Chain A
């Protein structure tokens, strides 16, 4: 069995609203992620999955509980653990190449090596011809690929992805999932991926962590033992999707005609 890369123990988090009330966001969340594993955090909006990601990435400190990566306590953001955001976070004043070089620049990598590495990762995400464009001139999917290249360029151990494809249209999204899967298989990074899309989670993850809200807790963890590349129309895929639907109680069992949820 692979080594434990990330562990969260009893992570509890609450926000204080304007009236001074404490709003619980996460309660007693405990989670382990293996080295090289692809884990999806899946749940409805407001279930605290993004908050957990922010805590894992070191952008926020939990109220209670412990966060460790490689056995060391997480105290703040770290270039070894990079986050990719839904709105890409590309610097519009830099070219695509300049964006991918950014992390290397901070690490003090000499210009020529910086350029070569950036070009290599732009090739990996298929954007070499757009190196000298501005991010603004690219589509959403392409921009997210630039963000991915920028993250990969500094060779991080872990990549946190916060609904990275949430702003993309359905077809681009599927293409991006395939692309991410290909790159993950090639680079073998540990990935923690937040989504509210069940298909996306089943397609990408080794394990799907299901969250429920108010306050955010882990409901259950479902392993996806399908070999890659996965076929979205296979019976295995459908069965696992069904299992998640059931876990979220979105499938009606028992008394028909009595909805368990309201929209």
Chain B
């Protein structure tokens, strides 16, 4: 499909949804205090922008998100390399991970606020938890799936264990690690609102909760839209960086598998 056609179709889809929304609103199919009209949302956004608060909320949310996400990457990637490389350790740790992983970060919220009080930290910890498991599991799988022939070749040339880890395993696993990082990005972004529901007085999550408390549905939806659009932008940015890295790594993206076998 051509690029222009793609852009046109996605724009048409968005415009269609907006039109439908406006038509339903005009038809009076729902009371305006339960769900805003498109115009209400637009007005809220422009008002927030004029007051300069929206920018602040976005900035503080992005700060907490990147803090939690980067911390998760810094902890989970080395841990994943270790667990993927040392099979026995992984067998020992795997059951624990499988039990902890399905627990939503939201379930941790009472404990997290108990431990970390109020402020930025609980939100950062929630994001950290949401990003941690996808990155960890992605890295472990990446290391496990490294083609054994690379290790055989390295050993044959007399490479040391440390060399094999840093110069063979890490680069061989890299494209799959970035897949885990990409996946974690989306997962963690979803938990932004949850992380900012308690103990903070700023951020997009707070904006939504605060608007709900004052029954301002227009602002609620405005906050939701901003989160959605920012999430999309972050995802696209990461995708772009990933493609750039893959090109540098000599990977052809169209193929189903990233490494030639």
Q: Indicate whether A82 reaches chain B with its CB closer than 8 angstroms.
A: yes
- B159 in contact with A106 (CB, 8 Å): yes
The answer to whether B157 and A154 touch across the interface, beta carbons within 8 angstroms, is: yes
Q: Which residues of chain A come closer than 8 Å to B158, judged between CB atoms? A: 77-79, 103, 106-107
Chain A contributes a number of interface residues (CB within 8 A of B) equal to 25
Contact of B149 among A77, A89, A154 (CB under 8 A): A89
**Smallest Cβ distance from B104 to chain A, in angstroms?**
37
User: What is the CB-to-nearest-CB distance from B258 to chain A, in angstroms, rounded to a whole number?
Assistant: 9
Q: Are B172 and A85 in contact (CB under 8 A)?
A: no
Q: A57-B156, A106-B159, A135-B260 are in contact. Are A91 and B171 (CB under 8 A)?
A: yes
A160 to B107 Cα, complex, angstroms: 57
Question: Is A134 at the interface (CB under 8 A from chain B)?
Answer: yes
* A134-B250, A136-B252 given; A92·B159 CB < 8 A: no
Q: A78-B158, A107-B158 are in contact. Are A89 and B153 (CB under 8 A)?
A: yes
Asked if B85 lies at the interface with its beta carbon under 8 angstroms from chain A, I say: no
B150 — which chain A residues lie within 8 A by C-beta?
89, 91
Contact A136 B251 (CB under 8 A): yes
Q: Is B168 in the interface zone, CB < 8 Å from A?
A: yes
Please state if A91 and B156 are interface contacts (CB–CB under 8 Å).
no
Residues of chain B with a CB closer than 8 A to A57's CB: 156
**Contact A93/B249 with A85-B149, A135-B260, A136-B260 known, Cβ cut-off 8 Å:** yes
In terms of DSSP, what is the predominant structure of the interface of chain A? loop
From 132 to 148 in chain B, residues with beta carbon under 8 angstroms from any chain A beta carbon are 147
**Are B157 and A103 interface neighbours, CB within 8 A?**
yes
Contact between B152 and A92 (Cβ–Cβ < 8 Å)? no
If A93-B250, A134-B250 touch, whether A79 touches B157 (CB-CB below 8 Å) is: yes
Does A59 sit at the interface, judged by CB under 8 A? Answer: yes
> Which of B163, B174, B249, B261 contacts A106 (CB under 8 A)?
B163
Question: Would you give the 0/1 interface string for B157-174, flagging 1 where the beta carbon is closer than 8 Å to chain A?
Answer: 111000100001001101
A106 touches B250 (CB 8 A): no
Task: Tell me the bound Cα distance from A95 to B260 in angstroms.
Answer: 14
User: How far is A135 from B251 in the complex, measured between Cα atoms in Å?
Assistant: 10
Answer whether residue A172 sits at the interface, using C-beta atoms and an 8 A cutoff.
no
> A91 to B147, alpha carbons, bound, how many Å?
10
* A133 CB to nearest chain B CB (Å): 9
Say yes or no for A83: interface residue by CB 8 A criterion: yes
Q: Mark A150-190, 1 if CB is under 8 A from B, else 0.
A: 00001000000000000000000000000000000000000
Bound Cα distance from A77 to B160, whole angstroms: 12
Chain A proximity mask over B170-186: 1 for CB below 8 Å, otherwise 0: 01101000000000000
A134 surroundings in chain B (CB, below 8 A)? 250
A136 to B159, CA, bound (A): 24
Residues of B within 8 A of A94 (CB): 250
**Measured between alpha carbons, how far is A95 from B247 in the docked complex, in Å?**
12
**A30 part of interface (Cβ distance < 8 Å):** no
Report the Cα distance A136→B152, complex, angstroms: 20
Q: B219-252 interface mask toward A, CB cutoff 8 Å, 1 = contact, 0 = none?
A: 0000000000000000000000000000001111
Give A153 Cβ to nearest chain B Cβ, in Å. Answer: 10
A76 CA / B156 CA spacing, docked (Å) = 9
CB closest chain-B residue, reference A81: B156
**B172 surroundings in chain A (CB, below 8 A):** 91, 93
Interface residues of B (CB under 8 A from A): 147, 149-150, 152-159, 163, 168, 171-172, 174, 249-252, 259-261
Q: What are 20 sample pairs from A and B whose C-beta atoms fall under 8 A apart?
A: A77-B155, A78-B158, A79-B157, A79-B158, A82-B156, A83-B152, A83-B156, A85-B152, A91-B150, A91-B153, A91-B168, A91-B171, A92-B249, A92-B259, A93-B249, A102-B157, A106-B154, A106-B157, A106-B163, A136-B252
Q: What residues of chain A have their CB less than 8 Å away from a CB belonging to chain B?
A: 57, 59, 76-79, 82-83, 85, 87, 89, 91-95, 102-103, 106-107, 134-137, 154
Other A-B contacts than A77-B152, A89-B150, A93-B249, 17 sampled, CB-CB below 8 A, are A78-B158, A79-B157, A82-B157, A85-B149, A87-B261, A89-B152, A91-B153, A91-B172, A92-B250, A92-B260, A102-B153, A103-B157, A103-B158, A107-B158, A136-B250, A136-B251, A154-B157
